[in-house]
Structure 1
Amino acid sequence: MSSTPTTEIIPFIETASMSKKRKNLIKTLLQILPLRNIMLFSKGNIREHEYFTKKFDRELLPIGRHGLTAGWLFESLQQLLNVDQVQNVQCEQLGSDGFVSQIMRVTVQMKDLTEKRYIVKMPETTNIKIALEKTTNQKLPDGADEQFIGGLSVFFNREVDFYSMEKIPGVRTPKCYHKQRWELGKQTGAIVMQDLKGMISVPYYESLNLQQIASIGTQLNNLHIFSIDMDETWKQKFPYPMQLIDTVSNMSDIVKLFVSRNPQLEEGFAKVEKMYTDRNLFIALLRDSHKTLGIDDFLCHGDLWFYNLMWLPRTMGSEMASNHIGSIIDWQNIHTGSIAEDFCHLLTFCCDAETRRQAENCYLPFYYNMLKNNAALAGKKLRVTLNQFLRAYRRNFIAHALHLPFIASIMLCVQPSEDAEEQKSRNESIVEKVIGAWEDALQAMREEYPEYEL
């Protein structure tokens, strides 16, 4: 992580109201970050640093900072491991820790010299405090990061529930070997899963290409086919998270800061500013827009963007992502919602404006026909027309276009480049992406909600 001062990234307005602005910023970040497990990757790839390595002792060797031990792990994996054959255990904390997770790689060395590797994911709040201090350039009091623990437990347990359900055919997720719910004051939450070492992520300031979008589309195709006539248990287990509505309707202060350091955004922001504080509009766009078109709920990943997409490398050992998706991770925000939501999130956050528009014009109609045909082959009827699908996309896209500068500005702060020119280039690419998103969102508003006074 760069040591570049945050003041060089977001120059706060030097006024008497600075303290109030920073407090509002902190409050808003505390609301949103539990909902988005933004991964702090170095250059888009998993960067590891040694946490500890010591001789195996099942009683004493800790796994992370939350009271779990090697003894707990082997008890959890007793059907997979012969503990008598274990020679040593090594643990390392991944540099890809999220704001609301600690992620450990545990390597179990067997007496026959083979190794078995596991990822242990646990909820925690340490990184959130660091991220907030970088973004606000302000020292936070002890305990500031604990304000949202109750909400965080809901989302961590949602992922536990996801891995407890039947596996969705064809959707590539890490194998889950053990999971336990987070019970505040009683039990540490934990998920033990497959190690995806060797897979690659694409950094937030780049753009996916059309081939990569199509690869993700094969995964959404399987998710959507499964959603047709899905069991009511899924709908009851994963309702739409209204916390997201509360978050996105309170992000205008941070977006204003981003605009203040990028004057080329001022004209566009003046046209969309009213929408940022309209909670009812976000409800209409995110939760209800597909319903008013007569479309049933579909399962949504809910956070389909760069760091939750793991790609196979171009060649063995390469740090460049291929066009083939390897796995989709972080299912903490899975919910039922719009059939188009994951595409909206993916194309808005992970593509430059040109690529997004190409995907909207060419790939989305192709995707719809593929989904309709594959649903028929599976013996299911897709009760959505092409027109409904594209309109559902346009409506949901508006909210993601508004959301984009919020997350992008945070990422520029917590993951800046050490090189000033590179940082400038990242910022410029994001500004162009935001301008294009706002322009298209305004057009979509005029088409889908002509009665709304912009």
Structure 2
Amino acid sequence: MESNVVALNRETRRWKKNVFHDILKILQLRILSLRSGNIREHEFFSKKFDRELLPIGRHGLTAGWLIESLGQLLNSDAIKNIKCSQLGSDGFVSQIMRVTIEFSNHQQKRFIVKMPETTNIKAALEKTTQKKMPEGADEQFIGGLTMFFNREVEFYKMDKIPGLRLPKCYHSQSWKLGKTTGAIVMQDLRGMVSVPYYESLNLQQVASVGSQMINLHLFSIGMPDEWKEKFPFPMELIDTVSNMTDIVKLYVSRNPVLAEGFSRVEKMYTDRELFVRVLRDSHKSLGIDDFLCHGDLWFYNLMWLPTVSGSETASNHLGAIIDWQNVHTGSITQDFCHMFTFCCDTEIRRQAENVFLPYYYNQLKTKANNAGKKLNLTLNQFLRAYRRNFIAHALHFPFIASIMLCVKPADDENVQKARNEHLIERVLGAWEDAVQAMHEEYPEYSL
């Protein structure tokens, strides 16, 4: 199908009757697509709307491709204009465009177009290390990125999990290097908000996320083999977390108050087999079956209803879970470990561990029984699985904290300092509890 080939190739064929016109248009499109998402250029060309020329992002896709991909969702003859803007909430490995389609009857439809991207993660690492990476360094991420992006494509093609709040997906195409531009066209969640990385979820918000995770875990009990085959545990995740030592050491060097705590956990950072043990295999050694995991359940993948319409403040009601690039089968506790460690202050995290987790287990067991499913899991196994898996996320957190402070700094120096101090407290609490968990669960491991 034409929608599954790079748009530039299709446009070249369409314009081949006029060689000069062909060359001129392709040069214009190439120049635009190589720009860093400059919204002014997008708006300029949208005013003189040409669906063959208007780029959607910088990866060769055009308005014509989008109209064709959406098919019956649109009356293409009634389209008056298309406007594109790049969201400021681009992911580390994605370019995200908001596309507004205007019709002749003055109605509008909005869509989000998500495409794989390598330059963002490169830029993030450069800001964190304050060192220029060599040209082409971002290409080292392409292999893993292809796998992760295509996992999300496959996820949206699977049968919908009952009760799980997701953005609607209207079109998706896998990323095939040199052949097909990866893209997902989905619902625009405009109006929903996220909690900033330097704040903390409260227990009511934790419970709201839990009300969604229970649907994922219920589905996982006796899940079809197709899900297990399509979404095995990604060893690329192990590679990521076991190669973060230099960034963590840099963060510690910038914040000497972390030095003593780091000295107690430094050995674990350089032990790749330990990450395999606590992240991939910890639940298996306890006799627990695999469950579906979101894999990256943190602030910017949790979309909240605002306290009031138009507000930037999140309520306690979760609207949707987005970004399923790391979906996989693994520990039932992995998403809770990630969310509690990355999104909660130490006090709230410990309350969630002591109060919410036992409550959640009992709720899951009750719902499983009501659904005629057997939960082969005891409360003790559940809590031990959490403690083991938590170790990996406690080690991972300062890596992300360091990057986020550099990528999304505050404008005011005092505010930035306060944010950093807040995150330092969270890091120290995570390290302290990780050491305790190691003593309890792996007493043979010498720290």
TM-score by length of 1: 0.88
Report the residue type matching 2:155 in the other structure. Answer: F
Q: Which residue is 1:379 aligned to? A: 372
In structure 2, the residue corresponding to 1:79 is in which secondary structure?
Answer: helix
Report the residue type matching 1:390 in the other structure. Answer: L
Shift of 1:112: 1.4
Alignment of 1:14-413 (within 5 A): 52-53=42-43, 54=46, 55-413=48-406
Partners of 1:149 and 1:287 in 2: CA distance: 23
Q: Which residue is 2:34 aligned to? A: none
Q: Which residue is 1:422 aligned to? A: 415
Partners of 1:281 and 1:225 in 2: CA distance: 29
Partners of 2:119 and 2:244 in 1: CA distance: 23
Contact 1:221 1:371 survives alignment (8 Å): yes
Shift of 1:124: 1.7
Indicate the larger mover: 240-249 or 186-195: 240-249
Tell me: CA distance 1:428–1:51, structure 2 relative to 1, closer, same or farther (3 Å): farther
Q: Deviations over 1:154-178 (max 9, x none)?
A: 1110110101111111111110000
Report the residue type matching 2:42 in the other structure. Answer: F
Partners of 1:191 and 1:246 in 2: CA distance: 26
Q: Deviations over 1:48-105 (max 9, x none)?
A: 9656222332212111111111111111111211111111111111111112111111
CA RMSD, 1 decimal: 1.3
Contact 2:42 2:55 survives alignment (8 Å): no
Contact 1:298 1:336 survives alignment (8 Å): yes
Shift of 1:395: 0.5
Shift of 1:417: 1.1
In structure 1, the residue corresponding to 2:91 is in which secondary structure?
Answer: coil
Shift of 1:308: 0.6
**Aligned length in residues:** 407
Shift of 1:147: 2.2
TM-score by length of 2: 0.89
Tell me: CA distance 1:360–1:186, structure 2 relative to 1, closer, same or farther (3 Å): same
Aligned-residue sequence identity (percent) comes to 74
Contact 2:39 2:84 survives alignment (8 Å): no
Partners of 1:333 and 1:429 in 2: CA distance: 28
Task: Provide structure 2 residue ranges, at least 5 long, that are not aligned to the other structure.
Answer: 1-37
Partners of 2:437 and 2:119 in 1: CA distance: 40
Partners of 1:136 and 1:402 in 2: CA distance: 19
Report the residue type matching 2:441 in the other structure. Answer: E
Report the residue type matching 1:339 in the other structure. Answer: I
Contact 2:125 2:403 survives alignment (8 Å): no
Report the residue type matching 2:379 in the other structure. Answer: L
Contact 1:51 1:92 survives alignment (8 Å): no
Q: Which residue is 1:25 aligned to? A: none
Partners of 2:53 and 2:250 in 1: CA distance: 48
Report the residue type matching 2:339 in the other structure. Answer: L
Contact 2:307 2:313 survives alignment (8 Å): yes
Partners of 1:206 and 1:220 in 2: CA distance: 22
- Runs of 4+ with deviation above 4 angstroms: 48-51
Task: Provide structure 1 residue ranges, at least 5 long, that are not aligned to the other structure.
Answer: 1-47
Report the residue type matching 2:285 in the other structure. Answer: T
Q: Which residue is 1:7 aligned to? A: none
Partners of 2:430 and 2:124 in 1: CA distance: 26
If asked which structure has higher relative contact order (CA below 8 Å, sep 6+), I would say 1
Shift of 1:131: 1.8
Bigger Cα Rg: 2
Contact 1:49 1:95 survives alignment (8 Å): no
Partners of 1:94 and 1:281 in 2: CA distance: 38
Partners of 2:160 and 2:312 in 1: CA distance: 30
Report the residue type matching 2:83 in the other structure. Answer: Q
Contact 2:282 2:389 survives alignment (8 Å): yes
